[in-house]
Structure 1
Amino acid sequence: MRYFLSPLFVLAACSPLAQVGKAPDFSALEGSYQHHAMYSAPFPEATDRDEPSDASSLWTATQASLLGDRRASQRGDIVTVVIEIDDRAEISNSTGRNRSGSQQMAIPSMLGIPQRVDRKLPDGASMADAVDTSSSSSFSGSGTVSRNERLTLRIAATVVEELPNGVLRIEGQQEVRVNFELRELIVTGYVRPADISRQNEVTYDKMAGARVSYGGRGQISDFQQPRYGQQVTDILLPF
């Protein structure tokens, strides 16, 4: 009996049962692209030795200057992503089809063969109407799609890579835990530096390959999902 229960305890430790009475854990940032971009050394910038140094000038082009451009431009910089989704779509279509057909074939006389055959046929049967068929079919179908989505979010993302063509790959992750429910927001995509505003913000519709994930995990999210056994039976049972 002891050997039979041991695998059950090991399975319980690796399953959601181990989180009973505990709040969901935050995702670790160590090892992610954001962590690597923040802590890695920046690439050296090429300088021209013939140009005089502007260290003593009051007006410079660096980000630290009074009128400097503080928009994200290199790996490790932070940019604010504004997500405002207000989509609405309605699609309705219908299809109808109707078809009918009939066919008749009679052999009243053919070298006297029909008359000879008629004598051997049951009463009422005749070769005068050898074949008489009719068919009809009808089909109708309709479908309606209605969708309404609205989402307004703001998240700070990190530039994790600068592509050779100047496009920036950004990645952001935000997690907020309230009691035993964890709300998480993830956004990734590619942006052009020219699309970043002077406020260091970029809207999601200017992101190529945008991936936005908004969800949660915790006690409430677990109750909204069907049990594992029900999910398995829904897949295996054909009815």
Structure 2
Amino acid sequence: MMTPPLPETTQVSRNTDQASLWSRNRKSLLGDRRAMRRGDILTVVIELDENASIDNKTERSRSGSQSMTVPQLFGIPQRIDENLPDGASMANAVELGSTSAATGDGSVNRSEKLELQVAATITEILPNGVLKIQGMQEIRVNYELRELLVSGFVRPEDISRQNSIPIEKIASARVSYGGRGQISDMQQPRYGQQALETVLPF
């Protein structure tokens, strides 16, 4: 009669392990509750307060002058001068001049401020341990719908103990915030006006 082989590791489960303050269980008092598995939820903190200003100025000028004289060419200019009006001469056959100038000014002033929080879910764990997250939030007030979408890649060590992560620590972060409804519709030009602006060259 053969004896069954012993397991490689033996784990003894005790009820006191769940009650210990130093337990590594996520449900314990001091357990790590940060999101780290597929399906876990974390909070994305979006705080953007950016200002950008760009000024460009370009000036360009150019002038050129060229002349060609034919004082002697087998006596041909002198023979032609006999048939030309007084003051005209083939001695100065060609004279060209050109002047051009261009000036350009441009400026861009942009200011953005956005403060939002949205819960995101871990959708994939890459082989190197990086977490792919995606979150969506919809808020409807009367006939107006507001949508917030966020996605990107985060490192587990960048997630705080409060299970949140700021937007600047999200790689390939994509944030989309907008809405649709009666108010948004009134802010848009009519379809006929948009068609005319596309066709008309002025």
Q: TM-score, normalised by structure 1?
A: 0.76
Q: Is residue 2:52 matched to residue 1:93?
A: no
Cα deviations across residues 8-58 of structure 1 (Å, max 9, x unaligned)?
Answer: xxxxxxxxxxxxxxxxxxxxxxxxxxxxxxxxxxxxxxxx95152454312
Q: Secondary structure at the match of 2:82?
A: helix
Q: CA RMSD in A?
A: 1.6
Q: Using the alignment, how far apart are the partners of 1:131 and 1:169 within structure 2?
A: 73
Letter in 2 for 1:165: N
Classify 1:120/1:70 alpha carbon distance in 2 versus 1 (closer, same or farther; 3 Å). Answer: same
Decide which structure has greater helix share: 1
2:107 corresponds to 1:144: yes
Tell me the percent identity.
60
1:228 aligns with 2:199: no
Letter of the 2:124 counterpart = E
TM superposition shift of 1:109: 2.3
**Which residues of structure 1 form unaligned runs of 5+?**
1-47
List alignment gaps of at least 5 residues for structure 2: 1-6
The more displaced of 209-218 and 117-126 is 117-126
Please give the alpha-carbon distance, in whole angstroms, between the structure 2 residues aligned to 1:236 and 1:53. 78
8 A contact 1:171–1:187 mirrored in 2: yes
Match of 1:111 in 2: 74
Q: Give the count of matched residue pairs.
A: 192
Q: 1:51 to 1:90 in 2, by over 3 A?
A: farther
Listed as ranges, the matches of 1:1-239 within 5 Å are 50-56=9-15, 57=17, 58=20, 59-239=22-202
How far apart, CA to CA, are the structure 1 residues paired with 2:133 and 2:101?
55
CA distance in 2, matches of 1:80, 1:161: 16
1:54 touches 1:60 (CA, 8 Å); kept in 2?
no
